[in-house]
Amino acid sequence: KQEVTQIPAALSVPEGENLVLNCSFTDSAIYNLQWFRQDPGKGLTSLLLIQSSQREQTSGRLNASLDKSSGRSTLYIAASQPGDSATYLCAVNTDKLIFGTGTRLQVFP
């Protein structure tokens, strides 16, 4: 059974810091992995999608990497801003999406 874990569960940092959020999964047989952002009480915003054949994807200040063989993905946020405060979810796609436990990020001025 696929299990997805995210570390840390919560993170509070001053703005300007570079951040690394971690996601690990137990079964490497995935189609792709996706990172989402969720603001309190809101739906999901897709940030980055990495296909199983890819190693990383970049969008602006965000960079996500995927090491399928070791069952790991990282989301790197450069020069964090207060507007980045949200919960970040990773999800692995094995024909259905299995979501991780999430990392609650707070960036303070």
Nearer to other proteins, 39 or 67 (CB): 39
CA angle 30, 2, 31 (to 5 degrees): 10
Q: x-or-dash pattern for other proteins, window 39-78, by CB under 8 A?
A: --xxxx-x--x-----------------------------
Give the tokens for residue 83.
Answer: 């507007």
Nearer to other proteins, 12 or 18 (CB): 12
Nearer to other proteins, 28 or 101 (CB): 101
Give the tokens for residue 80.
Answer: 């964090």
Residue 97 contacts other proteins per CB under 8 A = yes
Give the tokens for residue 32.
Answer: 């792709």
Do 104 and 9 touch, CB atoms closer than 8 A? Answer: yes
Dist. CA 37–CA 35, nearest whole Å: 7
Near other proteins by CB under 8 A: residue from 89, 92, 105, 107? 89
| Gap between the terminal Cα atoms of the chain | 41
Nearer to other proteins, 15 or 56 (CB): 56
Interface residues with other proteins (CB under 8 A) are 31-32, 34, 41-44, 46, 49, 89, 91, 93, 95-102
